[in-house]
A = this chain, B = another copy of it.
Amino acid sequence: MSEIRVGLLGLGTIGTGVARILLEQQELMTRRLGKTIRLVAAADKDTGRDRGLDFSNVRISDDAADVVNAADVDLVVELIGGYEPARTFVATALTHGKHVVTANKALIAKHGEELFVLAAEKGVSIGFEAAVGGGIPCLKALREGLAANAIESVHGILNGTCNFILTKMENEGADYADVLKEAQALGYAEADPTFDVEGVDTAHKLAILAAMAFGSKIRFDQVFTEGINRISAADIEAAAELGYRIKLLGIAKPHGKHGIVEQVEMRVHPTLVPLDAQIAQVSDSYNAVQISGDFVEHTMYFGRGAGERPTASAVVADIMDIARVCSGDGPDAVDKLAPPMGFVAGERKELETLPIADVACEYYLRLMVKDQPGVIASVTSILADHRISLEAVMQKERNSDQAVPVIMLTHETSEGNLQAAISRITALPSVEEEVLILRKETFGA
């Protein structure tokens, strides 16, 4: 029986999970695969810590070179994270003709294209299911399960930390800063939560999804990105009264003529979604990806977006996919695998990104205004100048010396037009603070 020999870079949370599956679930995997996957080597700076696993048949090293250069390793699993040195290690492994599986969304979003070229040159594969949606096999669904479809939209709750914070803010009526502190204490948020709460992590994942959906190159630098840090408990309450829940979504849509995609819309921001939408039910640290296609209509994929065990599940699924076509003891057959980005190499185009000013949305606006006669009239008159009509206006507190919040829901308009109106509104002497702008998605379903 042929076997695949695996080397592991990084024995942190996810690395430990992957080692656990490879060491403890081997019999089940062999029954599924008809081949054996063997963990032969692992590298981590901390070699001493007890991870509760029997590594007696695994070479443990503190030097990644001992894994990426090892002659007896067929496939390298990169679980270090971040851009460097992960990028160098992955490139070295590919150069040596080793397959690579990674959970590193930052690496794929920023350097994926050069790595795909290198892998193709060497006739090896790169798997990265765990980079998007953690344990949820959503990339496989998009790349293979929906391969007969022209994709019409992708909406994802892709960051468990943000979803946990927003859910807790809603359930407890608590403000952002307090919930963030609690999430950090519980280990749900990093000490430096910037990548999560400012939407960067979601943008990494959205860039990968969008490129896979529409057959374009990955353009992480082109994703419009806003985080959740300006949302208040009052916004969540106001949204609920209007029939919406606020979720940090990654959104991608194609634009073009006659079914040919010419531009890709990519944006990450807190979004009002109808309370009865399927994606609005995704709470706590769960993730979900909703994908619509011209034949399949609406589909959604839901599960744990992070954590040792769920992420390891996705990493090992990739290893098994590669092992299925590559025996490790003969010429490999990566052309029998679905191409990593869902389109064969020459067919992935350099598509333009739709400028954010051209994106059309309905908007939720929260203005802090002095409670004086005529303020709302001034604001609505500016909106009317820009042909922006209102679906709802809500003002709760009155007769206050301090600025009071006014909430407005607009009908659809372009972001460029909205921003022009907002500049004029912000200049009004009775409007204090920056206007909070949230976008609304209503879905087809």
Chain A residues within 8 Å of B, Cβ to Cβ: 17, 21, 25, 28-29, 31-34, 129, 135-137, 140-141, 144-150, 215, 278, 281-282, 293-304, 307, 309-310, 312-314, 316-317, 320-321, 324-325, 333, 335-339, 342-344, 347
16 more A-B residue pairs beyond the given contacts A147-B317, A296-B313, A324-B336, with a C-beta to C-beta distance below 8 A = A31-B215, A33-B147, A129-B145, A135-B296, A137-B141, A137-B144, A137-B145, A147-B320, A148-B313, A149-B313, A293-B313, A295-B309, A296-B303, A297-B304, A300-B301, A333-B333
Q: Which residues of B contact A338 (CB under 8 A)?
A: 321, 324
Complex-state Cα separation, A325 to B333, whole angstroms: 9
Q: Which residues of B contact A281 (CB under 8 A)?
A: 278, 281
Q: Which residues of B contact A135 (CB under 8 A)?
A: 295-297, 299
Partner of A309, one of B21, B297, B316, B317: B297
Complex-state Cα separation, A33 to B312, whole angstroms: 28
Partner of A344, one of B31, B136, B137, B300: B31
Contacting pair B298 A304 (CB below 8 A): yes
Q: Which residues of B contact A129 (CB under 8 A)?
A: 145
Q: List 7 A-B pairs, minimum CB-CB distance, nearest first.
A: A137-B145, A148-B316, A299-B303, A34-B344, A31-B347, A296-B313, A135-B296
Complex-state Cα separation, A135 to B333, whole angstroms: 29
Complex-state Cα separation, A392 to B127, whole angstroms: 51
Given A21-B148, A32-B343, A316-B147; A296-B325 close (CB under 8 Å): no
Question: Could you pull out 14 A-B pairs where Cβ atoms are within 8 angstroms?
Answer: A25-B150, A25-B294, A25-B295, A31-B215, A32-B215, A137-B144, A141-B301, A146-B313, A148-B313, A148-B316, A295-B309, A301-B302, A324-B337, A324-B338
Minimum CB–CB distance from A39 to chain B (whole Å) comes to 13
**Residue among A135, A148, A296 with most chain B CB within 10 A:** A148
Contacting pair A310 B296 (CB below 8 A): yes
Complex-state Cα separation, A281 to B137, whole angstroms: 21
Partner of A32, one of B140, B299, B312, B342: B342
Given A144-B140, A146-B313, A324-B338; A298-B293 close (CB under 8 Å): no
Q: Which residues of B contact A325 (CB under 8 A)?
A: 325, 336
Complex-state Cα separation, A147 to B336, whole angstroms: 19
Minimum CB–CB distance from A142 to chain B (whole Å) comes to 9
Complex-state Cα separation, A353 to B300, whole angstroms: 31
Contacting pair B33 A344 (CB below 8 A): yes
Contacting pair B299 A300 (CB below 8 A): no
Minimum CB–CB distance from A261 to chain B (whole Å) comes to 10
Minimum CB–CB distance from A306 to chain B (whole Å) comes to 11
Minimum CB–CB distance from A376 to chain B (whole Å) comes to 37
Complex-state Cα separation, A28 to B148, whole angstroms: 8
Q: Which residues of B contact A141 (CB under 8 A)?
A: 137, 140-141, 145, 301
Partner of A317, one of B29, B148, B324: B148
Contacting pair B148 A295 (CB below 8 A): no
Write the chain B residue with the least CB distance to A337. B324
Minimum CB–CB distance from A180 to chain B (whole Å) comes to 24
Complex-state Cα separation, A215 to B296, whole angstroms: 29
Partner of A320, one of B144, B296, B299: B144
**Residue among A34, A301, A312, A344 with most chain B CB within 10 A:** A301
Contacting pair A303 B312 (CB below 8 A): no
Complex-state Cα separation, A337 to B342, whole angstroms: 17
Q: Which residues of B contact A147 (CB under 8 A)?
A: 29, 32-33, 316-317, 320
Partner of A278, one of B140, B150, B294, B302: B302
Given A295-B309, A296-B303, A303-B298; A144-B278 close (CB under 8 Å): no
Complex-state Cα separation, A28 to B29, whole angstroms: 34
Complex-state Cα separation, A144 to B138, whole angstroms: 12
Given A17-B295, A281-B278, A295-B17; A29-B148 close (CB under 8 Å): yes
Complex-state Cα separation, A297 to B147, whole angstroms: 26
Write the chain B residue with the least CB distance to A135. B296
Write the chain B residue with the least CB distance to A345. B34
